[in-house]
Amino acid sequence: MIIKAVCALIGLPVLALVGLFVWGGLRSGPAPLSESDALIPAAILSEQLSDGMIEAQVYVLGNLGYRIEIQFSPSFTSNISSTMPPEVSLSMESMHMDGLNQPLELVGNGAWQGQGEVPMAGMWIVNVGYGDEFAEVHFAAR
């Protein structure tokens, strides 16, 4: 009897949690951000190109959604201004699916952000750079 009561007490919050997740999964529109997905990058990039330092974080948002945050710090010899967006393209690791260009929005000094959805789940490659010099980072879209 006591055990049953305890189970019922534990069961209710668990049911509520499960319900929340199901509701979140069924919701249409922009993917709901779970706390961990929104805060922890699925992939991190940090690479020194001749024009400057490229740092990027890729966040996986669910429903094939992703967000890319980029910080570009031009080197002293670079003539790329901090208001010039880097080129970002996405391609698939094991398939001939490429040419997805990611438009970026300037959100700060040398800081860029872009968001979108890939057409299928799996390993994707993000290329970030200027001209013919690119840094790359891989992430698992889901």
In the three-class reduction of DSSP (H, G, I as helix; E, B as strand; rest coil), residue 115 is classed as strand
Q: Does 95 bind Cu ion (CB under 5 A)?
A: yes
Q: Does 111 bind Cu ion (CB under 5 A)?
A: no
Burial class (CB in 10 A: 0-12, 13-18, 19+), 136: middle
Q: Where are the alpha helices (DSSP H) in the chain?
A: 2-26, 35-39
Output the smallest distance, CB 93 to Cu ion, in A: 9
Check if the beta carbon of residue 10 is closer than 8 Å to that of residue 4.
no
Q: Which stretch binds Cu ion (CB under 5 A): 21-29, 53-61, 63-71, 97-105?
A: 97-105
Output the smallest distance, CB 135 to Cu ion, in A: 22
Check if the beta carbon of residue 136 is closer than 8 Å to that of residue 127.
yes
6 or 121: whose CB is closer to Cu ion?
121
Q: Does 125 bind Cu ion (CB under 5 A)?
A: no
Interface residues toward Cu ion, by CB under 5 A? 92, 95, 97, 120
